[in-house]
Amino acid sequence: MAGKGEKRKDKKEQVPSTDSAHKKHMHIPTLRIIRFSLQVIFFVLLSAGLFQLASLAFPLSVIPVLSSSAQPGVTAVSAFDALQYGISAAIPLLLAIALAVFLLSAVIIGKGFCAFVCPFGFAQDIVGYIRSAIKFKGATLSPKTVRSASRFKYYILIIVLFVSGVVGASVVLGSREYVASAIGLFTDVPFALLSPADTLFAIIPQLIIQGKPLIVGWSILLWLRVVILVISLGGALWIPRMFCRFLCPISALMAPMNRYTIIGLERNVVKCHGDKCKKCERACPMDVPIFSSSEKRFSKHPECIMCLVCKDVCEEKAIKFATI
């Protein structure tokens, strides 16, 4: 009898209480909540005109994100728009400012602006939240497919800079009118014409403000813009931040600079559970090889946007900030 009583007692002691089990599995995504809050704040500030806040007279600035400089009541100019116009209009000062903004932001925090400030990145994240809410599985791509698809954004960047360079050279040679007549609307800021951010934050709001009917009377170019927007946002249902990863020229421009940032993220190999866990890699929206990386400081990877999702899901606190 005593033996049976002791066994029952031991068995009872081995079963964790409901409260302790709940505490162990309860994980509040604090960093993701903070990031979402900052994204909302920056979106409101950058879209002041759309929210009738333009009267607050926000100072005009240049920031390295995918936004629209043609947005109603715009409070900040996209550095990529400034870069294109600086080249195509042959304005050295504007070109220097745009490059300085990219270099400064890249050196300090890499592609961090993509995760916390970029309005189109925020739009894709909202699609991601919807995806999670409806428990849509999405697509799983092989590493080889990801590498191949990631090259497209570099091709887009090269084409955009080439077109801007041709127009800029024509300005210097005095033949801008001839080139402008040949490429038309692509003359000043080539990428803006097909940018999903411009369509979402500038074209559609302008159509609504002007009271023009949607769909009826749309030009072929407007249809093309809307199709690109739908593909860019719809793609985020299958692949998190699909546009950022495969098509964004800003992402391509800043990717090589990720290796030289002052602030980065690294994995503590002592605290990390390794192959038994890999929660960080599964949660990463950019498919950064956090555990598989040969480098301790994995944020040097060209696709890392410093979103901190990996740090948030790691219950062992094995991921920490690192500085040079």
- Check residue 271 and give its pLDDT: 87
Q: Position of tokens 């090889």?
A: 289
pTM: 0.86
Q: Which residues contact 263 (CB under 8 A, 6 or more apart)?
A: 108, 109, 110, 112, 306, 321, 322, 323
* Selected residue with higher pLDDT from 105 and 13: 105
Residue 24 above 70 pLDDT? no
* Selected residue with higher pLDDT from 10 and 189: 189
Residue 9 above 60 pLDDT? no
* Band (121; pLDDT cuts 50, 70, 90): very high
Output phi, psi for 323, to 5 deg. -125, 155
* Band (164; pLDDT cuts 50, 70, 90): very high
* Selected residue with higher pLDDT from 19 and 253: 253
* Band (14; pLDDT cuts 50, 70, 90): very low
pLDDT (mean) for 6-12: 46
- Check residue 18 and give its pLDDT: 43
- Mean model confidence pLDDT for the chain: 86
Of the candidate ranges 44-58, 158-172, 304-318, the one whose mean pLDDT is the lowest: 44-58
pLDDT (mean) for 195-206: 92
For the ranges 61-75, 80-94, 176-190, the maximum mean pLDDT occurs at: 80-94
C-alpha to C-alpha distance for 303 and 294, rounded to whole angstroms:
15
Q: Give the Å distances, CA to CA, from 158 to 153, 163, 198, 234, 249.
A: 9, 9, 20, 25, 9
Of all residues in the chain, the percent with pLDDT exceeding 90 is: 58
pLDDT (mean) for 15-24: 44
- Check residue 185 and give its pLDDT: 87
- The 8-class DSSP code of residue 135 comes to T
Burial call 204-234: b when 16+ CB within 10 Å, e when fewer: bbeeeeeeeeeeeeeeeeeeebbebbeebbe
- Check residue 275 and give its pLDDT: 72
- Check residue 23 and give its pLDDT: 44
Of the candidate ranges 64-78, 98-112, 177-191, 207-221, the one whose mean pLDDT is the lowest: 207-221
Over residues 102-120, the pLDDT tens digits come to 999 999 999 999 999 999 9
C-alpha to C-alpha distance for 146 and 286, rounded to whole angstroms:
10
Q: Of the candidates 19, 103, 25, which has an alpha carbon nearest to the alpha carbon of residue 64?
A: 103
Over residues 282-299, the pLDDT tens digits come to 899 999 988 877 778 899
* Band (320; pLDDT cuts 50, 70, 90): very high
Which domains are delineated in the chain?
31-258 (no CATH), 262-324 (3.30.70.20)
pLDDT (mean) for 182-198: 93
Of the candidate ranges 9-23, 178-192, 244-258, 262-276, the one whose mean pLDDT is the lowest: 9-23
Residue 8 above 60 pLDDT? no
**First-residue to last-residue Cα distance in the chain:** 66
- Check residue 139 and give its pLDDT: 87
Kindly give the pairing relationship between strand 76-78 and strand 61-63.
parallel
Q: Which residues contact 15 (CB under 8 A, 6 or more apart)?
A: none
* Band (57; pLDDT cuts 50, 70, 90): low
- Check residue 214 and give its pLDDT: 67
